[in-house]
């Protein structure tokens, strides 16, 4: 009997992403993967339409040129042009798509299942609804995502809930589906000392009281309205809103005024580095209506905060401590969020213990570990016929 053929090492990897920067969850994941692979001696090539900053050591940039077009058309043109750009760069052991890609990839990470997101996403009212539809043009974005996942040799889910959605939409037998959770920057997102927290709250002009933190950009999908409504029955509650909503930001600011929450809600806008706000807060609330994972949840946990998240968010899968207090039913309304929030406000010592347990749990979810698991995934892909 002949010996089995030796498995080829993973030496050259192509990562395909729409943009290279450190602002969004997908982009930060791609950056972390590129750095982790390069640290393991892999030659990493990133194919993207836009780059911010210089290429890290061991990483090469390849621009996929796009003209100025509406977002949905840019997405389609990128999906069509990127495969030719990848082929022109030579042979790769692994081609890994993190966005729509009309070539055949070895792995395609599902940061969202567009078909599900479009079906469950709440609609904005009036002109904002029309603007959102025209910008994203769901029929086109869903078709591109469908093609990407069907052509991939392996689909990578960022949470079990995403794996279930992939199987429901595309069938369980066509391609293998692997689970690979996001990592977290434990050195950047970490609990402050008591003195550091006091200084941060002074610097950020946060007054007394227990401040909750909310972070996101699509405020209707992320459920900011539920938090604002919950605050009506919680006079002691304070809320910082990080991020912006270019379509409905004014609507939500007006809602806070109509509900009589002036002075208790702080709209802090988009932040280049949100970690000081996480460290200054007392809890993190994220009543999202659809969320494949929610990196902000694990970053809050890494900062030692108790969190409030719905069961349908992927990040809820990694919560171990006091799940009954931290994980709400997926269909919870404002009264349920008020009850859960109020329970943490009434038990500050318990909230601190829960936050400390969350921090310990997040020490397992490093990007270094993610990189090792990613390399193991690539080797499994190579071993398949």
284 three-state secondary structure: strand
List the single range of 34-48, 137-151, 188-202 with lowest mean pLDDT: 137-151
Calpha distance 251→335 (Å, rounded)? 21
| Assigned CATH topology for domain 12-183+366-380 | Rossmann fold (3.40.50)
The confidence band for 31, taking pLDDT boundaries of 50, 70 and 90, is: very high
pLDDT value, residue 372? 96
Residue spans of the domains in the chain: they are 12-183+366-380, 194-362
User: Beta-carbon neighbour count of residue 336 at 10 Å?
Assistant: 17
Structure tokens at 63: 């621009």
pLDDT value, residue 125? 64
Structure tokens at 107: 């792995």
Q: What is the mean pLDDT of residues 64-73?
A: 90
Q: Is the pTM of this model over 0.85?
A: yes
Q: What is the mean pLDDT of the chain?
A: 91
Q: Give a three-class secondary structure readout of 296-323.
A: HHHHHHHCCCCEEEECCCHHHHHCCCCH
The two counts, helices (H) then strands (E), for the chain are: 16, 15
The confidence band for 122, taking pLDDT boundaries of 50, 70 and 90, is: low
Task: Answer whether 276's CB lies under 8 Å from 156's CB.
Answer: no
Structure tokens at 362: 């997040």
What lies within 8 Å, CB to CB, of 254 at 6+ separation is none
The number of residues making up the chain comes to 385
Is there a shared CATH topology between the 12-183+366-380 domain and the 194-362 domain? yes
pLDDT value, residue 136? 55
Radius of gyration of the chain from Cα atoms? 22
The confidence band for 114, taking pLDDT boundaries of 50, 70 and 90, is: confident
Calpha distance 333→337 (Å, rounded)? 7
The confidence band for 6, taking pLDDT boundaries of 50, 70 and 90, is: very low
Task: Answer whether 365's CB lies under 8 Å from 298's CB.
Answer: yes
pLDDT in tens, 219-274: 999 999 999 999 999 999 999 999 999 888 999 999 999 999 999 999 999 998 99
pLDDT value, residue 5? 43
pLDDT value, residue 212? 98
CATH match of 194-362 with 3.30.390.30: no
Sequence-ordered alpha helix ranges (H) in the chain: 25-39, 71-88, 114-120, 126-136, 138-151, 160-170, 194-203, 219-222, 224-231, 249-258, 275-280, 295-302, 323-326, 334-346, 348-362, 367-383
DSSP state of 98: S
pLDDT value, residue 115? 85
pLDDT value, residue 66? 95
pLDDT in tens, 259-313: 999 999 999 999 989 999 999 999 999 999 999 999 999 999 999 999 999 999 9
């Amino acid at each position: 009997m002949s010996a089995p053929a030796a498995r080829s090492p993973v030496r050259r990897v192509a990562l395909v992403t729409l943009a290279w920067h450190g602002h969004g969850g997908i982009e930060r994941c791609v950056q972390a993967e590129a750095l982790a692979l390069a640290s393991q001696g892999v030659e990493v090539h990133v194919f993207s339409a836009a780059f911010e900053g210089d290429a890290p050591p061991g990483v090469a940039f390849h621009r996929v040129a796009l003209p100025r077009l509406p977002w949905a058309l840019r997405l389609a043109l990128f999906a069509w042009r990127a495969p030719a750009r990848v082929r022109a760069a030579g042979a790769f052991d692994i081609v890994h798509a993190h966005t729509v890609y009309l070539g055949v990839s070895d792995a395609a990470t599902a940061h969202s299942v567009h078909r599900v997101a479009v079906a469950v996403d709440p609609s904005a009212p009036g002109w904002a609804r029309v603007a959102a539809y025209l910008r994203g043009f769901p029929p086109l974005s869903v078709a591109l995502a469908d093609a990407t996942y069907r052509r991939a040799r392996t689909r990578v889910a960022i949470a079990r809930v995403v794996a279930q959605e992939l199987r429901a939409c595309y069938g369980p037998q066509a391609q293998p589906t692997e689970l690979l959770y996001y990592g977290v920057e434990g050195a950047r997102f970490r609990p402050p000392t008591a003195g550091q927290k006091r200084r941060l709250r002074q610097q950020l002009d946060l007054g007394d009281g227990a401040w909750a933190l909310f972070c996101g950009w699509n405020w209707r999908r992320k459920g900011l309205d539920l938090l604002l409504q919950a605050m009506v029955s919680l006079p002691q509650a304070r809320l910082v809103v990080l991020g912006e909503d270019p379509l409905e930001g004014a609507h939500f600011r007006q809602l806070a005024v109509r509900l009589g929450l002036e002075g208790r809600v702080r709209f802090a806008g988009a932040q280049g580095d949100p970690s000081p706000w996480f460290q200054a807060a007392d809890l993190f609330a994220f009543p999202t209506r659809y969320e494949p994972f929610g990196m902000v949840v694990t970053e809050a946990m890494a900062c030692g905060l108790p969190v409030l998240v719905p069961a349908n968010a992927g990040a809820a899968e990694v919560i171990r401590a006091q799940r009954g207090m931290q994980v709400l039913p997926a269909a919870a309304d404002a009264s349920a969020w008020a009850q859960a929030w109020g329970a943490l406000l009434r038990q500050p010592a318990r909230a601190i213990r829960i936050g400390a347990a969350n921090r310990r749990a997040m020490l397992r979810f490093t990007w270094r570990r993610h990189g090792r698991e990613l390399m193991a995934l690539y080797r499994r892909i190579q071993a398949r016929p």
